[in-house]
Amino acid sequence: MSGRANIVIDQGTSFSTTIQLNYANGSPIDLTSYTIESQIRKDYTSLNAVSFATVASNTGQISLALSANASANMVYGRYVFDVLATDQFGNSTRVIEGQVNITPQVSR
């Protein structure tokens, strides 16, 4: 089962966050052999998606980033997202999921 988190992104700004993955004993999961994918969609059935740039580390950290240009091109409102980690054998695990709220930009 994946964790849940909600994200707020100001339209037209850069966004980044880091997720820490640890084993049950507290030691970090080495993610260097994993492929990480993360997308934002208006709803679960939407065909269009915006992808977070992702980086995984040997210290269990997954970094997610979205450029100011990408967030500016998104219509403000509520979206959904998840983060998938796929190992070298093709086994995928959803590590986190939740909502993304894009707040409207005033200054242009």
In a domain, 108, yes or no: no
Task: Please write the tens of the pLDDT for every residue from 41-76.
Answer: 999 999 999 999 999 999 999 999 999 999 999 999
The predicted pLDDT at position 106 comes to 83
In a domain, 72, yes or no: yes
Give the CATH number of the domain where residue 21 resides.
Answer: 2.60.40.10
The predicted pLDDT at position 44 comes to 93
The percent of residues above 70 in pLDDT, for the chain, comes to 99
| Residue 44 domain boundaries | 3-103
pLDDT bin (cut points 50, 70, 90) of residue 87 is: very high
The dihedral through the CA atoms of 48, 33, 94, 56 has a sign that is negative
In a domain, 57, yes or no: yes
pTM: 0.90
Q: Tokens 């091109």 identify what position?
A: 73
In total, how many domains does the chain have? 1
pLDDT bin (cut points 50, 70, 90) of residue 107 is: confident
